[in-house]
Amino acid sequence: MKLSSRQAFWYAAFLLVFTAIAAYTVANKTWWFPPLASVQGGEIDNLFMITLVITGIVFIAVHVVLAYFVWRYRGRPGGKAAYVTHNTPFEITAAATVAVALVILVGGGTTLWTKIQSPPPADAFTVEVWAEQFRWTFHYPGADGRMGNVDVRFISDDNPYGLDPNDPYAKDDIFATEMHVPYGKPIAVILRSKDVLHSFFLPNFRMKMDVVPGMKTRMWFTPTQAGVFEIPCAELCGVGHYIMRGVLTVESPEQFNDWISQQTPVGMSQ
């Protein structure tokens, strides 16, 4: 029974030390999310913090109780366990408490989800994206201000972006290897894939959406900061998945206009 005490002590000690380290590093944000850069991301982070507090309390409480029980009820010579089979009021209270916490989280979560998934505001600036193994291409309207129609079916050596040859708006469209957007407006993104699944991930904006061949998927967000951000691909798309890196620059409208005017419309060459 000596051994029992030793095991109980170390077990309880380990649980407490682990809980302390876990709680400290999380509360201290030692390793944390990348700097935040969007309105929606801020709301997600808030919900994250609420969830973190609720689950954190449960995490710490369960581990402390577990450690206490392990130590307090360690087997002793001549010791005897109590005969307790169940306790219905306790079960009901516990279940109800959990349910209430979950209702709060689901309420917050679904409200936010609905907001994020609702159509983008009318003044949103739209960029279309082609994903393919292993790069991103960004599609902007040309001087006519209208985005031309694209489809995989139209893709050929002369028409690498699949512009619709019959669409007059497609004649002056711009394709760029980097994404630039003007600061101050919500940004809407329309995603298409030429080949396999990809996922358009913006860690700083807390945004992600899969890119699915045969489908158009969408996302929108409102940047709160100008700057240069990265776009890692977040859905396994083949051997080059880990190098499928895009760059998003959020800049003032003037800088953006400068940039876009330096791009050569593809449609013109046709």
134 binds other proteins (CB under 8 A): no
* Contact of residue 201 among other proteins, Cu ion, none (CB under 5-8 Å per partner type): other proteins
DSSP 112-165: HHHHHHSPPPTTPEEEEEEEETTEEEEEE--TT--PPPB-GGG--SS-TT-B-T
Strands 198-202 and 187-193: unpaired
DSSP 23-39: HHHHHTTSS-PPPP-BH
CB closer to other proteins, 7 vs 225: 7
CB of 166 to other proteins, least distance (A): 18
Edge-to-edge strand list for the sheet holding 227-232: 179-182, 245-251, 227-232
* Contact of residue 215 among other proteins, Cu ion, none (CB under 5-8 Å per partner type): other proteins
49 binds other proteins (CB under 8 A): no
Burial of 174 (0-12, 13-18, 19+ CB in 10 A): buried
Q: Which of 20, 113, 264, 270 forms a contact with other proteins (CB under 8 A)?
A: 113
Q: Which of 16, 39, 105, 260 forms a contact with other proteins (CB under 8 A)?
A: 105
Q: Which of 157, 166, 262, 269 forms a contact with other proteins (CB under 8 A)?
A: 157
Q: Which of 67, 244, 248, 266 forms a contact with Cu ion (CB under 5 A)?
A: 244
Q: Which of 42, 165, 213, 265 forms a contact with other proteins (CB under 8 A)?
A: 213
Residues 170-199 that bind Cu ion (CB under 5 A): 198
Cα of first residue to Cα of last residue in the chain, in angstroms, is 87
Strands 217-221 and 207-211: unpaired
Q: Are 175 and 186 in contact (CB under 8 A)?
A: no
The two three-digit tokens of residue 188, written as one number: 């809407």
CB closer to Cu ion, 127 vs 233: 233
Q: Which of 189, 202, 233, 248 forms a contact with Cu ion (CB under 5 A)?
A: 233
* Contact of residue 7 among other proteins, Cu ion, none (CB under 5-8 Å per partner type): other proteins
Edge-to-edge strand list for the sheet holding 217-221: 174-176, 135-140, 125-132, 187-193, 217-221
Q: Give the whole-angstrom CA distance, residue 18 versus residue 16.
A: 5
Q: Which of 22, 64, 190, 226 forms a contact with other proteins (CB under 8 A)?
A: 22
53 binds other proteins (CB under 8 A): no
149 binds other proteins (CB under 8 A): no
CB closer to other proteins, 85 vs 262: 85
